[in-house]
Structure formats: structure tokens, C-alpha cells
């Protein structure tokens, strides 16, 4: 097992990464899809507005990008902190 201070640094970096991705996750689903939809109403797309697109399709695409980006970032962190399997 890695020493204590190094594991703490790894865990802190992980939590920070999660926080950043959770903000994106929230803004692109609850934000653009629901709460901020009135603000995006001016941007028209295919007979409706951007908020509708985010609620029905856009958020899903963002979710996919987030998961793979997180997986890649964590693989890098694992190696940097020497905790990979």
C-alpha cells in the first residue's frame, strides 16, 4: 500500500475531479434542461428551443463524455500516485 500522505493526496485529487465533473453534470441536465431553459428559449432548434434538446438528448451526450473523461483522468491519477493495479 502507498504511504499515508500520498494516498491522501490521491484521494483529494479524486474528490476535486469528481466535483468539477458533477458541476458539468448538473449544469447540462438540471441546468440547461430544466432550470435555465427559459434563458435558452431564444436559441431555436428544429421547431423548439435548446433547452428542450438538452432535456431530451443533449444531456445524455454530455453524460457519456463525462464518464469517459473521468475514467481517462483517473487512469492518469492512478499512475501518477502509484496506486494503479
Site string for other proteins, 21-60 (x = CB under 8 A): xx--x---xx--xxx-x-------xxxxx--xx-xxx-xx
SS3 44: strand
Which one among 16, 39, 80, 84 touches other proteins, defined by CB under 8 A? 84
From the list 55, 34, 60, the residue with the least C-alpha distance to 45 is 55
Q: For residue 28, which of 19, 37, 38 has the smallest C-alpha distance?
A: 37
CB-based contact 22:82 (threshold 8 Å): no
Q: Interface with other proteins by CB under 8 A: which residues?
A: 1-2, 7, 10-11, 14-15, 18, 21-22, 25, 29-30, 33-35, 37, 45-49, 52-53, 55-57, 59-61, 63-64, 66-68, 70-71, 74-75, 78, 82-85
Amino acid at each position: 500500500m502507498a504511504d499515508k500522505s500520498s494516498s491522501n493526496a490521491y484521494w483529494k485529487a479524486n474528490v476535486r475531479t469528481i466535483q468539477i465533473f458533477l458541476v458539468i453534470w448538473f449544469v447540462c441536465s438540471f441546468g440547461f434542461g430544466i432550470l435555465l431553459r427559459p434563458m435558452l428559449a431564444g436559441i431555436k432548434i428544429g421547431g423548439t428551443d435548446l433547452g428542450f434538446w438538452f432535456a431530451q438528448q443533449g444531456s445524455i451526450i454530455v453524460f457519456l463524455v463525462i464518464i469517459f473523461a473521468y475514467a481517462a483522468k483517473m487512469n492518469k491519477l492512478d499512475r501518477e500516485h502509484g496506486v494503479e493495479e
